[in-house]
Structure formats: structure tokens, C-alpha cells
Amino acid sequence: MRMSKSQHGFTLLELLVASSIGITVSLVMMSLFKTGMDATIRVTQRAETQQNVRAAIELMTKDISLAGAGLPSGGLQLGTAGLSKFACNQTGTCYITGDTYPNSGGGTPNYMYAIEPGFGVGVQNGAVIPAAPGQVNSSITTAYCDYNFPLSNFKFTFPSSTTASVAVVNGGVTPNNILAPGGLQVGDLLMFQVSLPSNGAAGNVNGNSLVQTAAVVAEITGIPNNTAITFNTGDPLNFNFSSGSNNLASVAGASGVANAQTNVCRLQVVSYFLQVPAAGGTVQQPRLMRQVNGLNAVPVADGIINLQFTYDVIDTVSGTVVANQQNPIGAGESPSLIQKVNIWIMGSSLTTYGNRSQSMYLATSVSTRDMSFCNSYSASSTVCQ
């Protein structure tokens, strides 16, 4: 008799069912893993973008909030012999177009406002940023006195119209020389203003108020040592004029009057704009740049692809605020009457993971507390000061 053995195994149907279940479970696990990875990437990109955008906003907010601090109300008339520049360095590179100071309200050219709006000129060399198509990029330039390095510790005298001698008022003060850390350097702008006795009598200031001369701005072209500064003509920013008015020669003459008091502060003329750098023939991510006085621009935030400003400006005719004005100068409004600056900034993630990137807008408003004040409740008409 032939003996039969029982052999256990799977049928084809059982194998198909088991395989289907295994494949389904694997697909579900892979999908969950991909979903988790995508979520991690999105969170990382958003955190990175938000960090860059917030850093840019905070830095711009600081400079804009200080605009006008220490400057004459309404700004100041610069030298009349030519046009001075901003947003340029010592080698002659100008980072934005329209880099000369505009006309004053009376039509006199070369007028420094505490805020210089740069509508439509927010990208160096006019470069195109494809990631933000159709968006207007603007720049902004602010001016204020830098009180972090107080020049009240020094006495300035003028052996000539292009040279200043510097002496420490009190040897125990800090800083005790102009080349101390954070001190003066070539390309810095100094604002001079001389106070004279009101009666003009030399040697007699008792009982007489002091009358201030017009403020004058000069660019440092050399610092031979810690007791001397030169302001040679032909400076890169074109502030040091040898002719016309509102130049350093007028300050040098007035400071020689008996009992005259010379007040000096270092200006911080700060420009913000976008740059599209190129490295090795490859276009890199746009970034926000910050440039001070006549120094080189430095990057402050990467991945910034759009920068826009609008301004709330007081209209002197109607006495009301014109809100969200993009181009105050073009609209006939005075930048000295800007009351608030509205900022829109768009950032894009630096890590793309292929074609996947995150972008986000951040907006804020900054009050210009040191700008001109207008009393729209005056009985006759709006009075600005």
C-alpha cells in the first residue's frame, strides 16, 4: 500500500491576500513617514524664514524710529555748490539709483531729510527678483545723530577750513580719543553747529542767549592721529565744498568768535535695500543690505525677496494725514512731515528641498517720533515745526 503524507502550505489566494495586506501596510507607513518629513521641512523652512524676516524688521525699526534725532527740525540744507550723495561707499560704488539728496520745500537742491523714501529703487543695480514678480521694491534712508559715541567729550577747533583739531575735554571720560572702539573712521559724516552770543559781543555772554548757526555736514577723509581730522574736498559723498554756503568753512570762521560753542555729532545716514549676489556664476538668494554713511554695505538678513514702504504724511494744505503714500516726494509731499512708516517685507526660505520653498510676509508700522510735528488744530491753518 502507498503511504500519503499530509503537506501544509498556502494557497495562491492566501499568498495574494497576504501580499496585498503587506504592501498596503508598507504604503501607509511610507505615506506617514513622507507626511512627517514634509511637515518637518515646512516647519524648518517657516522658522528659518520667520527668523530672517524678524531680524530684518527689528533692525529697520530701530533705525527708522530714530530718524531725525539730533537733526534740525525739518531737516537741513547741505552745501549749495553741488549735490551730495548717500548709499555710496569710499570706492565710488553707489548701491541704489537716485542717490543724491532732493530739493527742499522751497526748491533749493541738496536738502537732507531725516527720511529719504526710495520708491521703486530698492534693488541694487536694478536686478530682477523672479521669486516676487510684479512687486515694487523700494529702499529707505534715515538720518540721525549717533549718541553711542558722544562727541561732547571732545573740543573741536579749526586750523583751516579742511582740518579739525580734537582735544579731550576731560581725560577721565570714556571715550577718551576719537579712535577708541566704535569711534570715528574715514567715510563718517559729522554735523557741526556753532552757538554764538546773541549780541555778537566778544567776551560777553552773560545775560545773552546763544544763537545757533546753520548746521553743516562734512565727510571725514582722513584721521592722521587721535587729535586731528581732515575734510578734503573731492570726497566720495561730495559733502566737502570749497565754495558756496553751508560748508565747513562757515563753521570754521564762526567757531573762532570768542565764547562760541561748537556742537558736533556723528550722523548715521543708514540705507536699506536688496541685493541679488552672484557667486561662481550662480545667482544666490536675495538679501537685505544695510549701508551707513560712506562705508561698505553689509548683509543683515538672507532670503529677503520683497521690500516695500508706505508713509503716513501730513498734508500742509488740508492739515490731514495722507495714509499709505508710496512716493511722498513724487506726490508733492514733504518727507519732513512723515508721521509713520509702514513696512512690508517678504522672505523666502533658503533651504528649498528641490522646488519646495516657503515664503511669508511680515508687516509693521513705525512712528517717527523725532520728525516734525504739525498742529492741525491751529485757529488759522496747520502749523508745522
Consecutive 10-residue averages of pLDDT for the chain (385 residues): 65 80 83 70 70 90 93 90 94 92 88 94 87 81 93 90 90 83 94 79 51 88 94 95 89 78 93 85 80 95 91 84 90 90 88 70 88 57 53
Which residues does 247 contact at the CB level (< 8 Å), separation at least 6? Answer: 79, 81, 161, 216, 218, 240, 241
Q: Is 202 left (phi over 0), alpha (psi -120 to 50) or beta?
A: beta
Q: Is 311 left (phi over 0), alpha (psi -120 to 50) or beta?
A: beta
Question: How many residues belong to the chain?
Answer: 385
Query: 10 Å Cβ neighbour count for 116?
Result: 26
309 in Cβ contact with 343 (< 8 Å):
yes
For residue 49, the model assigns a pLDDT of: 76
For residue 74, the model assigns a pLDDT of: 86
Distance CA 49, CA 270 (A): 24
Give the 3-state secondary structure of residue 12: helix
For residue 353, the model assigns a pLDDT of: 66
For residue 204, the model assigns a pLDDT of: 45
For residue 315, the model assigns a pLDDT of: 84
Which is it for strands 304-314 and 321-325: parallel, antiparallel or unpaired?
antiparallel
Distance CA 213, CA 260 (A): 10
Asked if omega into 299 is within 30° of 0 (cis), the reply is: no
For residue 316, the model assigns a pLDDT of: 76
Distance CA 301, CA 298 (A): 10
For residue 68, the model assigns a pLDDT of: 92
260 in Cβ contact with 251 (< 8 Å):
no
For residue 201, the model assigns a pLDDT of: 46
Single pTM value for the model: 0.85
Please, what's the b/e burial string for 270-295 (b: 16 or more CB within 10 A of its CB; e: otherwise)?
bbbbbbbeeeeeeeebbbbbbbbbbe
For residue 100, the model assigns a pLDDT of: 94
For residue 205, the model assigns a pLDDT of: 43
For residue 343, the model assigns a pLDDT of: 95
